[in-house]
Structure 1
């Protein structure tokens, strides 16, 4: 099933997008593992988008509420006040770090899945060579180049994911520090 027949099945007619057809051709060349890698990358980027939405939309509202509640308090130095403050800081830490470890794991799986695709591709190349009895270097080179596509895709996905994960982690640490400074006790 190609993309055109899939979109026809969905009821979308005359969808002729060149980059979509190129993507479909690339996915067919890479094999089954490349589809698993695409699914993994999709899930990873969904989690990344969720983190950015939380950091840019939801966390500022929570931060503003905590800071205004803290400033409205008369007592900032008692055990009870510091316990409330520490509770808010702990909740902020948990909320900011949510899904970051999952993103890190998914990013680290990408190159491994790409290598798995390359190994399975190489096995199929050698299997074809063994059954057909051909040792033509041109056929071997084209089969090997197709088998390395999953590794390329896995490495590209991992590099992009590592960069974004590092930026997210740094941003979350900065937001935690700013919140902690805003909730310091007045002497």
Structure 2
């Protein structure tokens, strides 16, 4: 329990040093990871049963060569693709937004530096240090959040594309 309290205090100190923009970075990161975990869960748990259901329905059809059969096949593939692609655009958007949110922290931190310089003058670097840390820490946090998202969202994209291709290949048409 003491470890968790110390961890929480160090996180609060980090956020106090970096400014309130870090809350926005943390929220975007949390939302991105919740969505990515949900997509991984969908691909590993829900989608295989759905794919087997589509394949068994296709195999149960007596007619797989007519124009209507091809449209039914395309509809099933399209519905599966739509479910596979759910939230992927949002995940990619959050990955792209994290560095921009960090840059917002840079701007607010630099505004703090300029306010200090306007009020106290340029002679005291200690007064400017708080604004400079508020300018650099959110940028770093946004980049780290984006890097973690880039790697895992790229892997997730590859798995979605592979799942789509395997579904198409498992529904033979003549």
Common fold by TM > 0.5: yes
Question: Which of 30, 34, 52 is the equivalent residue of 2:18?
Answer: 30
Alignment check: 8 A CA contact 2:99 2:142 kept:
yes
What is the rounded CA distance, in whole Å, between the counterparts of 1:145 and 1:78 in structure 2?
A: 67
Distance in 2, matches of 1:68 and 1:120, equals 58
Match of 2:97 in 1: 109
User: Aligned pairs, how many?
Assistant: 174
Name segments (4+ residues, structure 1) moved above 6 Å.
none
Residue 52 of structure 2 corresponds to which residue in structure 1?
A: 64
RMSD: 1.8
Moved more, 120-129 or 170-179: 120-129
Question: Which residue in 1 is equivalent to 2:88?
Answer: 100
Counterpart CA distance in 2 for 1:40 and 1:135 is 38
Deviations 1:130-156 (A, max 9, x none): 212242345435541342000000000
* 2:76 match: 88
Higher relative contact order (CA 8 A, sep 6+): 2
- Which deviates more from structure 2 when the two are superposed, residues 172-181 or residues 30-39? 30-39
Of the structure 1 ranges 69-78 and 176-185, higher mean CA displacement relative to structure 2 is found in 69-78
Partner of 2:66: 78
Residue segments in structure 2 that go unaligned for 5+ positions in a row: none
Closer, same or farther in 2 for the Cα pair 1:23/1:58, shift >3 Å?
A: same
User: Do the aligned residues in 1 keep the contact of 2:18 with 2:133 (CA within 8 Å)?
Assistant: no
> How far did residue 72 of structure 1 move?
1.5
Q: Which moved more, 1:84-93 or 1:130-139?
A: 130-139
Alignment partner of 1:122 is 2:110: yes
Structure 1, unaligned runs of 5 or more: 1-12
TM-score by length of 2: 0.92
Q: TM-score, normalised by structure 1?
A: 0.86
